[in-house]
Structure 1
Amino acid sequence: MRRRSTRHGSLAAGVVLLALGAATASPPSFEELFVPRTLRIDLVRSGTASGHGWSLLRLSTEGAWAGPRRHLLDPHDLGGARVVLLDASSGERIYSRSFSSLFDEWLATGEARQDRRRAMTETIRVPCPRAPVDLLIEARDDDAFSEVFRWPVDPRAALPPAPAPAAHETVVIRPGPPRARAVDLLIVGDGYPDRQREKFRRDAARLVDALLAIAPFRDRQDLFGVTALRITGRGLGPVEPRKGLFPPAALTAFDTFGSPRYLLPFTGSRLQDLAGAVPHDLLVVMVNAARYGGGGLFGGATVFTADGEYPEALFIHEFGHSLAGLADEYFSSQVAYEDFYSPSRRPWEPNLSASARRDALPWADLVDPATPLPTPDLPAFDGVVGAFEGAGYVPRGLFRPWRRCRMRDKGAAEFCPVCRRALAARLDFLADRPLKPAGTARGPKERTQYTVERRMLTRLFRPDFGPFAEVWRARRGRTPRYLRCTIASERAYTFFAPRWTQ
């Protein structure tokens, strides 16, 4: 009896150990799932606003994989689409990355709504799997992703890498850390002939310096490695339809969707062929033109003119689109879209909200309880995180977190705290750094008491703040710009305002 009990006890212990081993088994590593090369996927998306679909064009391999190796599954709920790799044998997700498609923007134009058909190419880069996988494209629908395309992929059937373009010039602008821990930025020069070789280098260095001078890039300079690729040959420069200019080797084009300043890649496949020779996380196209123009798509290329108006501000603004999916916050400029943001759908962009309710704001953790919602669009609220109406090309119904952020005003000095947090999170993701949970980009909130003489204050207005009688603003001194107050005496007021600890 005792021996049988011992046998059963040993069996039970073995079962427990197996269960513990299964529970604590770590997920497969990058090296187990992938080879350190890049698999390029070229797709075609075609149709109309009433119906459209995806098709596979080609699979090919490229050089070293430049993306993250720890963060294989995209943690951020961004983009209008997502590429997913499924292990063919287990069905487990082994890789995902969100992105936005130019085709989605076209669907919001009058041309698409007239049932005219159009096709556009989409290039996606993923790490090259060791074994067969299922390629999925998931599209956002009513704030959720659903499968719209699936294709079995055997990496052994992918085309070999294209020969590197030997004639083009590559310049290291900023050496970075090892590729697996770096944010690798590639700047492709469009329209720089040989006689402007030095100008190309100066322009690239100038724009990188401007980017790294502001937060959150300033605090993460050590993550960046920057390489510039100057395209040589004849027939360079952007397409300008309104001027009748169609250079045969153009990489970019103005007048996208009829908007004169909307500058995007003209022949996406050729640009991707050239860019594929240099491993990169982020792609920038710097156009040697004096005309103002630019564009950026989340997960795609940032395009801007180096000699137009405000080139540094333009580059940084468009880079916000490409890196973190930040939305345009302006609403007075002419665009080609019709109802780009559906009233029935929550915007996925981190700096837009369809509601000013505190419990509906994506950035509610950054809003002080004393801040009125919606927040008045007045100079007194400069530097205050709130819910300012007017964003996403419409003056009503969409809200932005700051009065004057880089995503609204090219003259703004900085990104707002909401945009900075989104940009920093994406940089940390690309550099394989530990990721912070949403809402913890800044430290805990503390209440700090201030006493200020009444003569140093100006009254703003008298909203109902419950126990707080009035709202004032300090004219000078190191006091918060926006203050809640209670009457302490006839001459002095006591304030309680938030302070963020780093």
Structure 2
Amino acid sequence: MRNLLFITCFFLSLLCQSQEFDTYFADKTLRVDYIFSGNSETQTIAVDQLNELPQWAGRNHNLSSSLLDGNGQITMYNLQSGECIYKNTFSTLFQEWVTTDEAKTITKSFENVFLLPFPKEKVKVEISLRNKSGEYITKISHIVTPSDILIHKKGYKNVTPYSIIHKGKDNVKSINVAIVAEGYKAEEMGSFKKYAEETVQQILSYTPFDKYKDNFNFYIVESASKESGLSVPRNGIWKNTAFNSHFDTFYSQRYLTTSRIKDLHDALAGIPYEHIIILANTDVYGGGGIFNSYTLTTTGHKDFKPVVVHEFGHSFAGLADEYFYESDVLDNTYEHNIEPWEQNITTLVNFDSKWKDMLTPQTPVPTNLSDSTKYKIGVFEGAGYSAKGIYRPTVDCRMKTNTYKEFCPVCQRALEQLILFYIR
């Protein structure tokens, strides 16, 4: 009888999840392209274009909630009832840039793209950005009519060649990751595929990804470039590549990013994806990972394997960098008087919300490095690019150095909680 009751409840749960999605959404994606612009003092957002993609590859449950805060939130409301029917969080390159010295002297614009389930009825979409005080301020609110004839249809033809290299057991409960080529010409796709396969092997070898490998789909996307290699501005090298990515972002030599987000998503139209890994064809060291945007890393460097896992920690789960410098262009990324939203760093403003429950009794807060053998999980100063005022949970972690061979226990918990949020 107990087994029968469990099975009945299980299928009722699945039915409720399906009804919740089917009530409001069609099995398609609404891709909204925005332009974020501004400077260190003011920021604005404008709608650039609406797009329809032929399938939805995101979560089908937990639709109106989010597990992490991010530096921004996008929320969809049913226009008639006012009910929140979808919510997601994100970070952007633009929000990093506004913390730099350059943003104090000039105004710039950045492309950003967000994927939403395609609504059956009119909806209101809002974007809120987190300010310096940690509050979310609505920057734009607009109505989307699903029957709007000016919504572009993409991905129904001329889809970029792709194939699946790792398939989960339950497609409905699988997290979809696209691995795309950058700086690879058409004749170099054999090399790209080899690195894409190594990427999947590396990610799925780390705990907790290894426990949930049956809940991931990985796709190889053969996005060919006209030129081989990658742009390195400090050396006067500019390449014509698929997504025009380059080093020296914010004048930080190894920070590798692309600002051509629309081109990236156009290349993925028609492919089931939610998370993106870009593999760049160069042996120059560097990379970047932006929460719910993309991972970008190089394939030719000797540290390719640990770096791609590290950057995926950023883009997939919003894990913060646990390394630090005495002085760096990104040193002002975090305000020291508010608690960061990332789960693996703290300013101690609200440490109760972080890994305090994982500390052994009598662990000193902060924890001296000299006590690291006594306290495996502590509160060690130096993280988030700052040597002072920001703390990390362990002496070392995949989010700190390339030589450490695993995520620390705090990062592992954050990753597992997010995976479960997606699949259960």
Displacement of 1:285 after TM fit? 0.3
Alignment of 1:308 onto 2:269: no
Contact kept? 1:184, 1:224, Cα under 8 Å: yes
Out of 347, 354, 358, which is 2:347 matched to?
354
Match of 1:112 in 2: 103
TM-score, normalised by the number of residues in structure 2: 0.90
Displacement of 1:305 after TM fit? 0.3
Displacement of 1:244 after TM fit? 2.3
Which letter does structure 2 place at the counterpart of 1:271? L
Match of 1:179 in 2: 171
Out of 17, 26, 30, which is 1:35 matched to?
26
Match of 1:262 in 2: 255
Q: Deviations over 1:192-218 (max 9, x none)?
A: 223333222211111211111110101
Match of 2:85 in 1: 94
CA distance in 1, matches of 2:278, 2:327: 24
CA distance in 1, matches of 2:153, 2:237: 33
Greater Rg over alpha carbons, structure: 1
Alignment of 1:151 onto 2:142: yes
Out of 68, 82, 106, which is 1:77 matched to?
68
Displacement of 1:190 after TM fit? 1.1
CA distance in 2, matches of 1:233, 1:339: 35
Alignment of 1:55 onto 2:46: yes
Relative distance call for 1:382 and 1:31 in structure 2 (3 A) is farther
Counterparts of 1:243-322 in structure 2, within 5 Å, are: 243-251=235-243, 252-322=245-315
Q: Deviations over 1:128-176 (max 9, x none)?
A: 0000000101122433423221001111115232256748431321122
Q: Deviations over 1:89-122 (max 9, x none)?
A: 11110100000111110011111012x1100111
Displacement of 1:264 after TM fit? 1.0
Alignment of 1:170 onto 2:162: yes
Displacement of 1:338 after TM fit? 4.6
Counterparts of 1:480-491 in structure 2, within 5 Å, are: none
Displacement of 1:360 after TM fit? 3.7
CA distance in 1, matches of 2:168, 2:237: 38
SS at match of 2:207: coil
Match of 1:406 in 2: 398
Which letter does structure 2 place at the counterpart of 1:156? S
Alignment of 1:126 onto 2:116: yes
Displacement of 1:348 after TM fit? 0.8
CA distance in 2, matches of 1:219, 1:413: 17
Relative distance call for 1:244 and 1:333 in structure 2 (3 A) is farther
Q: Deviations over 1:38-70 (max 9, x none)?
A: 000001111111111111111110121011111
Q: Which has the higher contact order (CA 8 A, sep 6+)?
A: 2
- Gap runs ≥5 in structure 1: 1-25, 434-502
Match of 1:477 in 2: none
RMSD: 2.1
SS at match of 2:115: strand
Match of 1:228 in 2: 220
Relative distance call for 1:232 and 1:380 in structure 2 (3 A) is closer
Contact kept? 1:382, 1:404, Cα under 8 Å: no
Which letter does structure 1 place at the counterpart of 2:211? D
Which letter does structure 2 place at the counterpart of 1:347? P
CA distance in 1, matches of 2:225, 2:398: 36
Aligned length: 405
Match of 1:199 in 2: 191
TM-score, normalised by the number of residues in structure 1: 0.77
CA distance in 1, matches of 2:184, 2:56: 28
Relative distance call for 1:263 and 1:233 in structure 2 (3 A) is closer
SS at match of 2:49: strand
Which letter does structure 2 place at the counterpart of 1:97? N
Q: Deviations over 1:420-465 (max 9, x none)?
A: 111112222223x1xxxxxxxxxxxxxxxxxxxxxxxxxxxxxxxx
CA distance in 1, matches of 2:359, 2:349: 11
Alignment of 1:66 onto 2:35: no
Match of 1:140 in 2: 130
Percent of aligned pairs sharing the same letter = 31
Relative distance call for 1:382 and 1:181 in structure 2 (3 A) is farther
SS at match of 1:246: coil
CA distance in 2, matches of 1:378, 1:165: 60
SS at match of 2:200: helix
Relative distance call for 1:276 and 1:31 in structure 2 (3 A) is same
Contact kept? 2:111, 2:259, Cα under 8 Å: no
Alignment of 1:340 onto 2:333: yes
- Gap runs ≥5 in structure 2: 1-15
